[in-house]
Chain A
């Protein structure tokens, strides 16, 4: 579902800890200021809980935790990025939402091997923008908890 004009792509950007990330804008259903999810006892720590999205119950995941980053001491506040998936909407808890940016293929590069594997498998390369690096989140992999079951419990 990528919006590609020539070699350009439109990415919705957001921030988690000190990482700038982006996903294809077509994946994003909406953006909400953070709602406190209902916690699910005994679930994996990456699962933030369940939220009510206009009558539909969707799962919220801690993107921080998913990327293997240290937890934020005050894990409140922040924003919810609601993504469209084939199984229904899923909410990602992130720290802040950025703009929609147009990026070109010429600035894209695969991630260096020095990035820790656990984070690297969830990312799909990086765009070298002036002043910062924008990492591309592989939505499918990021939301597929089954492949990394056993970690994070």
Chain B
């Protein structure tokens, strides 16, 4: 064969690209075929794929690859002729053949040579299957829930009858597209700069040309953006195979339904959500959907359903991943999070369903009883959330016990060029992406003076009857001290929205709306939470782009995601004013006691042997210090049980342990006021959770203990 080395390289390159695509398609077709053995098109297409690979291998002298493809083709030929039916075993073998071909192609790609692996075992298996078919066509065991296949008459198809037209598309190197996109970005910048000069020119011809140039630039930008947009189908195409393999591994039956495959997103975004999406899908199949027996017992269909939906909404792409499985066990999640120290008791007690679900996204969290090979190692969900947030998206979940769980991912349509509002604050310019900006409010004259009301020092504004918390941009950015704000004739408020919550940002002035090219901040500014990037303005200077979410956190308007300290955030604190949390315990003689949860630092259990006496005070060595132990009466009874339950109370730097017989529960009650009497312990009883309960005042009994033996304390 007299092909030059270079030409051969080029041929191999093309061969690789085409083959990868065809093998991916083959995966999907095999999964379809397994479910519907009558899918004629699928069989033909798969046959063609393997046939083409075999032929090209021969031409390029790739003997090993050719051998595998040849045996695969034989098997497929029998399938096509009706001599074999698709069984799970056959499907597995064909899928493995595809994998083997792919792996050999990768070796060729990396080393330009075929690897040492000749896949002899696979070839033997395929050969055996061929012989089975030739000798015993009844040796067919149907795969899951398929109707038995009928022998189909062989249909000869000519090449020209292929359904999809291949001449409407061209193959373009991705680097070329990126370069094009960059240049378009630069063009937009220059256009913006040029437009600034227009008012200064009176020559009409110039103005007209400038306008036209601007329009054309906008059009080029729109078209160039389209080249970056790809249907999500490209991402989802691999999923049928993944779900199929996973179901087999986990012993589940799962049907994958996909909607909205044509929904388009930016190519770079697709790359970023590939892994998170895969992990969520794995999670649903592995943990969400129950095994067929359990499902039947629960009155559900044996086969679970995994539904993927993608659509555009409000300038974003929404991807939903929903299963009809067992749903999340929110109580277990609460318990696990408490156990891991990821949340404090008070916080745990006050959490709503939505917040409980969100706990699974905390690092180090996993309630999977068995960590399977597939998922449950506790590192997945928080990485999913981080990756999605890194591209400016958000992930949310809804769950119903016994019915299923649904994840919702929202991501921006594109990252590169966004419409923004340019504002000024303390003499600096900032850009705010319009996607987060539903409204602008301008207060003039008298309204400017009275419009902003204060709640205990926190500014708010009444926007159509609802209170809008406010933040001052200059103060939040440290550009002006709070006290320096001079009263102005007009107050400009930018209403911002994230996560369905609104807040107002007070700025000095508004300049304009503009389409800006988003450029990333350098690595030195990676952790600048309040800024999402930078852009070059018309006058050539750099302006910073605000990160609305980061800004809200900075200004203290929403709790940070990582607010896992025992001291709950402002929202939970507000909750507290309405409901009081109590720790229910049992004292000696089975008495019910309640301690304000607020006063409880920790719950500990000590072995009886750990108790020592210092004078007549019982103590335990605890966290590098000494913990005095008292009874609920402020007295010092000897510990009588083993192990002993102790409620740890912190009084400034001092720690005290109060012995109880049993810890019962945490309850919330709106009717009982929080503060018990400050004088003596146990001076109050109340009905708490439908039973008479003694309310204990921890600081009170600690004080009493101190008076009884001042020396120790």
Assembled-state Cα–Cα distance A41/B540 (Å): 20
Assembled-state Cα–Cα distance A52/B537 (Å): 10
Tell which of B523, B530, B540, B544 touches A52, judged by Cβ atoms closer than 8 Å: B540
Question: Would you list which residues of chain A between 40 and 64 have a CB under 8 Å from chain B?
Answer: 40-43, 47, 49-52, 55-59, 61
Chain A residues within 8 Å of B540, by CB: 52
Distance in Å: Cβ of B633 to nearest Cβ of chain A = 49
Number of cross-chain contacts by CB at 8 Å = 62
Interface string of A29-41 (1 = CB under 8 A from B): 0000000011111
Chain A residues within 8 Å of B543, by CB: 38
Assembled-state Cα–Cα distance A56/B542 (Å): 10
Q: Is A90 an interface residue (CB 8 A)?
A: yes
Chain A residues within 8 Å of B522, by CB: 50, 57-59, 87-88, 90
Which residue of B is nearest A35, CB measured? B541
Chain B residues within 8 Å of A88, by CB: 522
Which residue of A is nearest B186, CB measured? A55
Q: Is B120 an interface residue (CB 8 A)?
A: no
Contact status B523-A87, CB under 8 Å: yes
Interface string of B504-536 (1 = CB under 8 A from A): 000000000000000101111100101100111
Number of chain A residues whose Cβ lies closer than 8 Å to a Cβ of chain B: 23
Distance in Å: Cβ of B523 to nearest Cβ of chain A = 5
Assembled-state Cα–Cα distance A107/B208 (Å): 66
Chain A residues within 8 Å of B519, by CB: 56-57
Chain B residues within 8 Å of A47, by CB: 524-525
Which residue of B is nearest A145, CB measured? B524
If the complex has contacts A57-B536, A88-B522, are A40 and B541 also in contact, measured as CB distance less than 8 A?
A: no
Q: Is B96 an interface residue (CB 8 A)?
A: no
Tell which of B186, B479, B542 touches A38, judged by Cβ atoms closer than 8 Å: B542
Contact status A40-B189, CB under 8 Å: no
Chain B residues within 8 Å of A43, by CB: 525, 528
If the complex has contacts A57-B519, A57-B534, A59-B522, are A42 and B544 also in contact, measured as CB distance less than 8 A?
A: no
If the complex has contacts A51-B542, A55-B186, are A42 and B528 also in contact, measured as CB distance less than 8 A?
A: yes
Q: Is B477 an interface residue (CB 8 A)?
A: yes
Chain A residues within 8 Å of B528, by CB: 40, 42-43
Q: Is B625 an interface residue (CB 8 A)?
A: no
Q: Is B457 an interface residue (CB 8 A)?
A: no
Contact status A50-B542, CB under 8 Å: yes
Distance in Å: Cβ of B425 to nearest Cβ of chain A = 9
Assembled-state Cα–Cα distance A41/B554 (Å): 12
Q: Kindly name the residue among B478, B479, B524, B536 whose own CB sees the greatest number of chain A CB atoms within 10 A.
A: B524
Assembled-state Cα–Cα distance A57/B531 (Å): 14
Chain B residues within 8 Å of A50, by CB: 521-522, 534, 542, 544
Assembled-state Cα–Cα distance A42/B550 (Å): 12
Q: Is B355 an interface residue (CB 8 A)?
A: no
Distance in Å: Cβ of B506 to nearest Cβ of chain A = 16
Assembled-state Cα–Cα distance A143/B523 (Å): 10
Query: Can you report 29 A-B residue pairs in the complex whose CB atoms are below 8 A from each other?
Result: A37-B542, A38-B534, A38-B541, A38-B542, A38-B544, A40-B528, A40-B544, A41-B428, A41-B477, A41-B478, A41-B479, A41-B544, A42-B530, A47-B524, A47-B525, A50-B521, A50-B522, A50-B542, A50-B544, A55-B189, A55-B536, A57-B519, A57-B521, A57-B536, A59-B521, A59-B524, A87-B523, A90-B522, A90-B524
User: Which B residues are within 8 Å of any A CB, using their own CB?
Assistant: 186, 189, 428, 477-479, 519, 521-525, 528, 530-531, 534-536, 540-544, 554
Nearest first, the 5 closest Cβ-Cβ pairs linking A and B are: A41-B477, A38-B542, A59-B522, A50-B542, A57-B519
User: Which A residues are within 8 Å of any B CB, using their own CB?
Assistant: 37-43, 47, 49-52, 55-59, 61, 87-88, 90, 143, 145
